[in-house]
């Protein structure tokens, strides 16, 4: 594309050079960035020029889906916009549609008095997962099994580049939760049940997204979430008395710090610019309205210099009276409110709360200063730099180089739980390999939730990926027959069988489950394959450990593949011995449902496979 402006042309050349450099460099931790508070002189000078309406606008984040008139951006001086889980452009989910949406909304900020660009946020939790053709990485539970901080940083660096290709500059990631009960539907968003593993990987994830300089055109603002204790809620404490999502974490402060705070410590050390408080409660008090947690511990004790953004409609849960909830949350330390549809009501109520003296102007100024210091750090306030998307980045979006990083992440995340009689690695010259299972040739099931759709879905959800069946067919010699049946029948006479089973896609709320036994069709597919009298390799796609029962006994080899994303070739790399399995369990594997929420030191703790278990060849 011919550049339309000399400054943009020079920026494009710079981006190309940076891309070449990043592709060639080893994955090492970036040097520490400048403290966000170093931008306070510029931020405070701008705050001093702002009206109350302009300040409150910076503290407001609606969802683009509910902005019916884009002129609201200049009328309300909006400082941020998000796209929620399935809040997509009307034109579809293509890279071009997303980029056009971003640019269309961002242009409205040039019509405001101060011309402050919007921060656009999106849940890029395993790649730029809302966009067709993006590289989808393993979910965090798999990355936790790699025990490889440099790889995690590299994964998030690629994610940042693909996010910036759409113009978007803010990813609601990484999730640094420490899930303590695998019945929780967000378990897969956590690196591990072990807080030290989470702490080890949270900092590299932030550095991967933000780089060494937030002003770099390939960096995005990271958002550590969900502060704090979202992975420790008691079963049945959620709204409606079912499940764990958005429930109550009932522990003392020492436990909260020891288990649930560790990822935030390393994220803050890495310079994370935003943090999202949790929907959940701590001992009955909503975190989003807890001043002790948000201001006392996070901002004052830990020295967090960025800003806090509430979760989607989270203020509604702080108090039944929306206006009162706003006052509680903002005074507790919330700096920006994610108010998808009620942004006009929020703005009016917050303005009235200031007039009534309920929310002090000093709290407003502090919140806006925190937001603006981040915008200055990101280079958004540089008048010589366009806030619009750099469309030249489309060249590397979903590229083979990016997919190679995901392929590495897949193979390093695999955990070999069983390998009787050295069935693995398989020979590429085997006469016949029979593949089976509902997940063997389904890219949607392979990616899981937060993939194009919020909850994910089965089927061909995105182009460019490789299923396990396709990867096996690509890996074997030309003389090897690869046959397939979904239910495992027809395997007689094969050299070896591969059955790919597991969960169907889900995300928060819908993923809470009281029973983690395998689906009947999965059990049947393994039994059908085993009845053919051949060695059987079972691959499990899941967002958490599952209760295996007889399936483990019937399997000659068993691989926990988690939710690996689009690059199924990483699985074939290990199945055929091009790479040895190196993954180690990031969660202990329970032998029964009675074990699912037990940890070392608890009565009756006796996992089937311990935390850290993993075989190799």
Q: Tell me whether domains 36-386 and 400-595 share a fold.
A: no
Is the domain covering 400-595 a CATH 3.40.50.1700 domain?
A: yes
Taking the CA atoms of residue 58, residue 64, residue 70 and residue 72 in that order, the dihedral angle to the nearest 10 degrees is -40
Taking alpha carbons only, the member of 408, 16, 18 closest to residue 211 is: 18
> Confidence band (pLDDT; 50, 70, 90) for 32?
low
C-alpha triplet 294, 214, 119: angle, nearest 5°: 65
- Tell me the mean pLDDT in the region 466-490: 97
State the CB neighbour count (10 A cutoff) for residue 115: 12
Domain ranges within the chain, ordered by starting residue: 36-386, 400-595
| Predicted local distance difference test score (pLDDT) of residue 217 | 97
User: Active-site residues: which are they?
Assistant: 311, 508
pLDDT at 580 over 80: yes
**Residue in the block written with tokens 């929907």:** 279
Handedness of CA 7, 13, 14, 15 (dihedral sign): positive
> What's the CATH code, domain 36-386?
3.20.20.300
84-135 pLDDT per residue, tens: 999 999 999 999 999 999 999 999 999 999 999 999 999 999 999 999 999 9
> For residue 434, what is the DSSP state?
E
- Taking the C-alpha atoms of residue 337 and residue 334, their distance in angstroms, rounded to an integer, is 7
- Tell me the mean pLDDT in the region 401-416: 98
- Taking the C-alpha atoms of residue 138 and residue 502, their distance in angstroms, rounded to an integer, is 15
**The overall pTM is greater than 0.75:** yes
| Predicted local distance difference test score (pLDDT) of residue 239 | 79
141-199 pLDDT per residue, tens: 999 999 999 999 999 999 999 999 999 999 999 999 999 999 999 999 999 999 999 99
């Amino acid at each position: 594309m011919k550049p339309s402006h000399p400054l943009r042309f020079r920026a494009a050349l710079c981006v190309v050079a940076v891309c070449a450099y990043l592709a060639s460099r080893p994955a090492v931790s970036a040097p520490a960035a400048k403290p966000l508070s170093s931008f306070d002189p510029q931020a405070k000078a701008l705050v001093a020029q702002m009206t109350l309406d302009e300040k409150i606008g910076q503290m407001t984040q609606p969802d683009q889906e509910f902005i019916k008139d884009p002129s609201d951006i200049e009328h309300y001086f909006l400082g941020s916009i998000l796209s929620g889980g399935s809040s997509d452009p009307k034109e579809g989910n293509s890279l071009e549609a997303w980029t056009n949406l971003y640019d269309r909304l961002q242009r409205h900020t040039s019509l405001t008095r101060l011309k402050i660009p919007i921060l656009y946020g999106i849940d890029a939790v395993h790649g730029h997962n809302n966009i067709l053709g993006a590289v989808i990485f393993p979910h965090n539970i798999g990355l936790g099994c790699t025990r490889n901080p440099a790889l995690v940083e590299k994964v998030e660096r690629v994610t940042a580049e693909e996010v910036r290709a759409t113009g978007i500059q803010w990813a609601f990631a990484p999730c640094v939760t420490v899930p303590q009960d695998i019945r929780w539907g967000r378990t897969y968003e956590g690196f591990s049940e072990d807080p030290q593993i989470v702490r080890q990987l949270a900092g590299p994830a932030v550095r991967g997204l933000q780089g060494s300089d937030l002003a770099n055109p390939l960096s995005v603002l990271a958002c550590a979430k969900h502060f704090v204790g979202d992975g420790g809620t008691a079963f049945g404490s959620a709204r409606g008395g079912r499940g764990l999502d958005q429930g109550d974490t009932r522990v003392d402060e020492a436990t909260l710090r020891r288990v649930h705070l560790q990822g935030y410590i390393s994220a803050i050390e890495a310079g994370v610019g935003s943090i999202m408080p949790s929907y959940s409660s701590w001992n009955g008090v909503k975190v989003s309205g807890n001043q002790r947690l948000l201001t006392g511990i996070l901002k004052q004790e830990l020295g967090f210099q960025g800003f806090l953004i509430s979760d989607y409609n989270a203020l509604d849960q702080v108090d039944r009276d929306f206006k009162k909830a706003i006052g509680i949350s903002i005074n507790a330390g919330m700096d920006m409110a994610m108010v998808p549809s009620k942004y006009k009501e929020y703005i009016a109520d917050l303005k009235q709360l200031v007039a009534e003296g309920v929310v002090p102007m000093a709290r407003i100024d502090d919140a806006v200063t925190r937001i603006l210091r981040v915008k200055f750090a990101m280079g958004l306030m540089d008048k010589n730099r366009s806030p619009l998307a750099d469309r030249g980045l489309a060249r590397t979006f979903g590229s083979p180089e990016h997919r190679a990083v995901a392929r590495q992440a897949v193979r390093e995340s695999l955990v070999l739980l069983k390998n009787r009689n050295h069935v693995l690695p398989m020979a590429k010259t085997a006469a016949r390999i029979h593949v089976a299972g509902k997940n063997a040739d389904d890219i949607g099931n392979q990616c899981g939730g937060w993939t194009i759709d919020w909850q994910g879905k089965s089927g061909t959800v995105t182009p460019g990926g490789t299923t396990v069946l396709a990867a096996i067919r690509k890996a074997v010699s030309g003389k090897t027959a690869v046959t397939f049946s979904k239910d495992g029948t027809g395997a007689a006479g094969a050299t070896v069988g591969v059955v790919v089973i597991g969960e169907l896609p889900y995300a928060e709320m819908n993923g809470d489950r009281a029973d983690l036994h395998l689906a009947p069709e999965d059990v049947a597919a393994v039994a059908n394959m085993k009845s053919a009298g051949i060695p059987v390799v079972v691959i499990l796609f899941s967002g958490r450990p599952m209760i295996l029962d007889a399936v483990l006994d019937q399997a000659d080899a068993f691989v926990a593949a988690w939710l690996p994303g689009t690059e199924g070739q990483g699985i074939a790399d290990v199945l055929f011995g091009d790479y040895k399995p190196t993954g180690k369990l990031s969660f202990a594997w329970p032998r029964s449902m009675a074990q699912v929420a037990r940890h070392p030191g608890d009565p009756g703790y006796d996992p089937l496979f311990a935390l850290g278990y993993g075989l190799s060849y």
